[in-house]
């Protein structure tokens, strides 16, 4: 495994897991947020909408609350979030 020293400074995994689960800290902070979220193939705005769709479909409400706020930081408007959630209600039950 290569150590990617470039970092967005993400520390959500460290805040959630601390010293208890260092593997989860690594994969959350370094792989998911420092690598996957930074890939150029989708904008962060689009990644937020995809993530919200997946979390809604899976019923992951704790994670959804965080990602609704994160989507706003990534440029998704409240009106777009409302429309996305309404649309998802018909497809994810």
Within 8 A by CB and 6+ apart from 55, the residues are: 61, 63, 64, 67
Per-residue pLDDT in tens (0 to 9) along the chain, 93 residues: 344 445 566 666 666 667 776 787 778 778 888 899 999 999 999 999 999 999 999 999 999 999 999 999 999 999 999 999 999 999 997
Helices (H) and strands (E) in the chain, counts: 5, 0
Q: Please report, for residues 7, 26, 82, the alpha-carbon distance to residue 86 in angstroms, rounded to integers and kept in the order given.
A: 35, 34, 6
The CA distance from 9 to 23, in Å, is: 17
For residue 38, give the DSSP letter.
G
């Amino acid at each position: 495994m290569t150590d990617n020293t470039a970092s967005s400074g993400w520390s959500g995994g460290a805040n959630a897991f601390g010293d208890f689960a260092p593997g989860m800290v690594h994969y959350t902070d370094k792989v998911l947020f420092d690598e996957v979220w930074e890939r150029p193939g989708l904008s962060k705005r689009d990644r937020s909408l995809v993530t919200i769709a997946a979390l809604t479909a899976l019923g992951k409400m704790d994670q959804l609350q965080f990602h609704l706020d994160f989507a706003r930081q990534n440029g998704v408007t409240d009106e777009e979030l409302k429309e996305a959630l309404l649309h998802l209600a018909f497809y994810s039950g």
